Structure 1
Amino acid sequence: MQRIAIIGCGGSGKTTLGRQLAALIDAPMTHLDGIYYDADWKPLPPEEFAAIQEKLVAEPQWVIDGNFASTLPIRLASADTVVFLDIPPLVCLWGILQRRLRYRGGQHTEQGVYDRIHWGFIRYVLGYRRQMRPRVRALIAEHATQARIVTLTSRRAARRFLTTVADQT
């Protein structure tokens, strides 16, 4: 595992898992929200966002967390491991609440990105498995043909996966 793409609903634990995996394999960690949004939640132009990802995935080693289905094929085509956090929506909402309480505004503040929780985001989280999961799975099947696919459906499964990786390194 040298090039790891982590995908999942907001609050699923992508960044936490990504940081731990990056530490285990001694790879740089990139959180895509910190690249895509500025401090005022203004997004980068799509071409610029894609170009940055092309540069990131050209590196020999990386861990990148984030969804962004429009540019997911860039990461999937270069990843040797794809971790899909298919966590239940209520667990994700609980994760968002815990993150809000723990970090008081966001865990990505060093990148200028603060949590932005609103009803649209909550609806997105609640509908992720119904609306986004099929799209994500189709993109994985189409673009990550060379990668090891790891689907984790609980926080416990994520902890076991980390233990397995730690034992192998």
Structure 2
Amino acid sequence: MQRIVILGNAGSGKSTLARELGRRLQLPVVHLDRLFWEPGWVEADNEVFRSRVRQAVCGDAWICEGNYSRRTFDLRLPRADLIIWLDTHRTTCLRRVMLRSLLNRPRADLPVGCSEKLNGEFLKFLNFVWNFDRVNRPGIEAVRLAIGPQVPVVHLRSAREVGAFVQDLSATVQGSFKLQG
């Protein structure tokens, strides 16, 4: 397992899981938000974004976290070995998004020149997080089934399940990769 796609709502733990798996499996991590957003939260041109993603996943091993299904699944899913869906409850996602925005710490997944501020755009983002499962997830799942139905999917619904998965995956691939504690 050397090409992993991680999907889920904002605040579901995609970036955290990607970093942990990347560290344990010694795989490069691709944060799609860093490829999509220009400084000041300006969207990259679609062809520029797709070119960045294409380049990021052209190698034999990677972990790619983020949704962007209609824009990038055709580039990622045909090459993926595994899809991890983080089914984190929306109240947990909201709490995490609000906390990280209040703390405003640098993060590996935060695009360069973009800071999280409590403003009108942030309130719209909270609405996106709250409604993700009803509004966005069905479309993401439909595109996944159309482009990558052959890729195995693991659904993780809690921090406990994520922890157990990471431990199990580490034990499973220990012979194939040099793992770090």
- Equivalent in the alignment of 1:25: 25
Q: Deviations over 1:5-44 (max 9, x none)?
A: 1111100000000001111211111111111112211111
Amino acid in structure 1 at the alignment position of 2:125: F
Instruction: For 1:157 and 1:129, locate their aligned partners in 2 and report how far apart those are by CA, in whole Å.
Output: 19
Aligned with 2:143 (options 119, 139, 159)? 139
Instruction: For 2:56 and 2:163, locate their aligned partners in 1 and report how far apart those are by CA, in whole Å.
Output: 26
Alignment of 1:15-94 (within 5 A): 15-73=15-73, 74-94=75-95
Instruction: Give the CA deviation at 1:113.
Output: 3.6
- Equivalent in the alignment of 1:126: 130
Instruction: For 2:45 and 2:111, locate their aligned partners in 1 and report how far apart those are by CA, in whole Å.
Output: 22
Say whether the 8 Å CA contact 2:12–2:86 is kept in structure 1. Answer: yes
Aligned with 1:148 (options 148, 152, 161)? 152
SS of residue matched to 2:101:
helix
1:127–1:70 Cα change, 3 Å = same
Instruction: For 1:33 and 1:20, locate their aligned partners in 2 and report how far apart those are by CA, in whole Å.
Output: 18
Instruction: For 1:93 and 1:71, locate their aligned partners in 2 and report how far apart those are by CA, in whole Å.
Output: 25
Say whether the 8 Å CA contact 2:69–2:144 is kept in structure 1. Answer: no
Instruction: For 2:117 and 2:9, locate their aligned partners in 1 and report how far apart those are by CA, in whole Å.
Output: 15
1:8–1:106 Cα change, 3 Å = farther
1:116–1:143 Cα change, 3 Å = farther
Amino acid in structure 2 at the alignment position of 1:78: R
1:167–1:89 Cα change, 3 Å = same
Amino acid in structure 2 at the alignment position of 1:11: G
Which structure 1 segments of 5+ residues have no match?
A: none
| TM-score normalised according to structure 1 size | 0.90
Instruction: For 2:111 and 2:99, locate their aligned partners in 1 and report how far apart those are by CA, in whole Å.
Output: 19
Identical amino acids, percent of aligned pairs: 29
Q: Deviations over 1:132-167 (max 9, x none)?
A: 111122122222233221111222211111111121
SS of residue matched to 2:171:
helix
**Which has more radius of gyration?**
2
Count of aligned positions: 168
1:13–1:48 Cα change, 3 Å = same
Say whether the 8 Å CA contact 1:7–1:85 is kept in structure 2. Answer: yes
Which structure 2 segments of 5+ residues have no match?
A: 175-181
Amino acid in structure 1 at the alignment position of 2:18: G
1:157–1:97 Cα change, 3 Å = same
| TM-score normalised according to structure 2 size | 0.84
Instruction: For 1:116 and 1:22, locate their aligned partners in 2 and report how far apart those are by CA, in whole Å.
Output: 29
SS of residue matched to 2:20:
helix
1:93–1:111 Cα change, 3 Å = same
- Equivalent in the alignment of 1:3: 3
